[in-house]
Structure formats: C-alpha cells, structure tokens
C-alpha cells in the first residue's frame, strides 16, 4: 500500500499513444566492455537486411539540389529498413547509432532553394556512422546544426516519420539527438544509457528518477508502454553481472532487451498502436561485433566487422534476411557483394 497511490498517479500520467515502439540500452562492464542493444518494434512487417559498407562511399542527402554530400570516412555494419534507410549500426571505430520513433519530433523547415544543406532522415544515422569515431566528436560537429534533417511520410502510409537518434561509443559515452519545436536538443552524458519512445528524453529521465526511489525487487512497471520499458531497462541493465567475459555479457544484455520487447502478434483495442518486436540487435563496441536476432526465425547470429575489407574501393556486402531463412553463429561468409541501396529522399 506504501507505493500504491503514487503508482496509480504515475500510471495515469503514462497513458499515451505511441505509433511505433523501440527500446535502446547500453551496458558498461569492466576493462572497456561496452555493449549497446536495441529492439525494433513495428506495427507491420518491416523488411530488414544487414549491410557492410566500406570507407570511401560517396553519399547524398537525397533532398534535391541542396542535398548534403559526403564520402564515408569509416566502414560500418548496419541494419536497413526496406533497403531505403539505415536504422541501426556499428562502425569500425566502435560508434553505434540507433534511430527510434518519437512522435513529438518537429524538424526545422527545409528551404529547397535556400543556402542550408539538407539530409533525408533515412540517412541520418548513416551520416553519423560514416563521419564520426566518438560521441563527443559527433556532438561537437552537429550541435550548430550544419544541415537540416528532412522528413517525409513512411512509404505506403499516412504516418509522418518522426525519429530521434541515440549514439554510443567504445568509451561508454552517450548522446541523444531530438528535434523539438523545430530546434535541435542534444542530451550528452555517459549516464544516458537508456532510451525509448515518448515522452521526450528529458521527461523520460524525470519519470525514471521517480522509479529509482522504489526498489526494483519490490515493483517494476510491466506494460509495453515506452515509459515502462524505460524503467525496466534502466533497472535490469544495472542488475545483470558486471563481467568482461563477452559471452556472458552479450547473453545478459540480450536478456535485458528481450525483457523490454513487445510480444510478437500482441494487439489491444485500448492501445491499437503498440507494436510487436520484429528484431533485436546487440553491438559489442570493443570487439566490433554486431549480433542480430529475428523473432520469426530461431537462432542468433553475428557479424565480425574486423574480418571485412573496409578499405576505400572495397565492395559493399549484403546479407539478405529473407523470410524463414535462418542463420546461426558468425554470418560473415553469407554476405554477398551488392550495390549500396539508395536512401529514400524527397
């Protein structure tokens, strides 16, 4: 009864509609062990493939004549969505980028005939992976908004794409990038190890502070809502073993992100927009290994980025995750040479 009244009040405040749900969490263990995990939660089937991109790829922001142009400085392994966007990935320097849904996002107005360059939201995460080696480097480069992030509707839907970006690096540093009321807001602190969807990140931190006063062994919020997943991830990522044993650390982090996942096929008339988890990834910053788990196929596989040719001029490689195709263990040999996909633009 001690916690019941405040629990009811907070539960009431957390009732909110979320379009698409995801969770991201960072584990920091001894001797430089840093691992980032995320779930991809989506209302409908989302076609994901894995890609390995070398250095030296010429990119475009894909927003017309004022598109930002760049050439990738670092190689990376990424997860794509419909082969039109990068939604998750790890680069050769140990930097990880994840995009998650944030319905409150409002991006600056882009002037196609103006002076400021633009970049499609589909390539936002890839731009970071291509250009930066650490969180601090990315924050320093992006804080003055050198370009405009340009969004559009999710293909085949009437849902406008609203995302926020999290990045983490091999030192354990973290930053969250959100566009609120047309302005970039950056939350930069090594302590920011968890991110979900709504509300905006600052409010997520405030909600978590409330729950920090209630021992997790007594009570944790258990629904699929973003704020509840935030609290569970924050508690469990600090409760699992502190170890430099990669096998145990990765297994422990997978257990946390599974705990914060939404059961497959779940539906609710009261919360029609809660989304099933479609896949999960776990990135080992120290060993440059990217683990992947598709909920529709048994088994977990991984990609060792160290074993790919990432030199400029090397070929891009693709692992097509066709329906019912199962991979287990190291999957490097299953990648095939493929032309890099074109990012969706406007």
Fill in the DSSP letter of residue 191. Answer: T
Cα dihedral across residues 42, 48, 53, 58: positive or negative: negative
Closest CA to 254 of 225, 286, 223, 277: 277
How far from the centroid of its chain's Cα atoms is residue 41's Cα?
11
How far from the centroid of its chain's Cα atoms is residue 109's Cα?
24
Closest CA to 177 of 99, 120, 118: 99
State the Cα–Cα distance between residues 307 and 299, nearest whole angstrom. Answer: 22
State the Cα–Cα distance between residues 27 and 325, nearest whole angstrom. Answer: 30
Please pick, among 22, 78, 119, 194, the residue that the annotation labels catalytic: 22
State the Cα–Cα distance between residues 103 and 118, nearest whole angstrom. Answer: 21
* Sequence-separated contacts (24+) of 216-224 with Cβ below 8 Å: 218/3, 219/3, 219/7, 221/11, 221/14, 224/21, 224/262, 224/266, 224/271, 224/274
Per DSSP, the three-state class of 88 is: strand
260 is catalytic: no
Catalytic residues: 22
């Amino acid at each position: 009864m001690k916690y019941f009244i405040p629990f009811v009040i907070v539960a009431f405040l957390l009732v909110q509609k979320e379009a698409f749900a995801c969770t991201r969490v960072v584990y920091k263990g001894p001797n430089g062990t840093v691992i980032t995990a995320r779930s991809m939660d989506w209302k409908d089937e989302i076609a994901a493939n894995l890609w390995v991109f070398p250095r030296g790829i010429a990119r475009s922001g894909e927003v017309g004549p004022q598109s930002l142009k760049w050439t990738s400085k670092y190689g990376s392994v990424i997860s794509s969505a419909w082969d039109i966007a990068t939604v998750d990935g790890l680069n050769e320097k140990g930097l990880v980028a994840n995009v998650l849904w944030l319905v409150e996002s409002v991006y600056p107005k882009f002037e196609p005939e103006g002076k400021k360059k633009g970049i499609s939201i589909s390539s936002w995460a890839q731009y970071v992976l291509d250009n930066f080696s650490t969180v601090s480097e990315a924050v320093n480069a992006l804080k003055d908004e050198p370009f405009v992030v340009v969004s559009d509707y999710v293909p085949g839907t009437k849902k406008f794409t609203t995302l926020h970006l999290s990045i983490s690096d091999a030192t354990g540093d973290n930053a969250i990038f959100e566009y609120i009321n047309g302005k970039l807001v950056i939350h930069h602190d090594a302590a920011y190890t968890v991110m979900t969807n709504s509300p905006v990140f600052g409010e997520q931190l405030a909600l978590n502070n409330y729950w920090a006063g209630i021992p997790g062994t007594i009570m944790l919020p258990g629904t699929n809502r973003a704020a509840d997943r935030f609290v569970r991830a924050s508690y469990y990522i600090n409760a699992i073993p502190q170890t430099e044993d990669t096998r145990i650390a990765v297994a422990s982090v997978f257990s946390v992100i599974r705990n914060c996942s939404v059961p497959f096929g779940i539906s609710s008339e009261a919360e029609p927009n809660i989304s099933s988890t479609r896949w999960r990834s776990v990135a080992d910053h120290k060993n440059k290994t990217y683990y992947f788990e598709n909920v529709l196929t048994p088994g977990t596989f991984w990609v060792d980025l160290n074993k790919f040719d990432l030199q400029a001029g090397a070929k891009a490689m693709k692992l097509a995750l066709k329906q019912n195709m199962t991979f287990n263990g190291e999957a490097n040999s299953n990648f095939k040479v493929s032309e890099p996909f074109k990012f969706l633009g406007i």
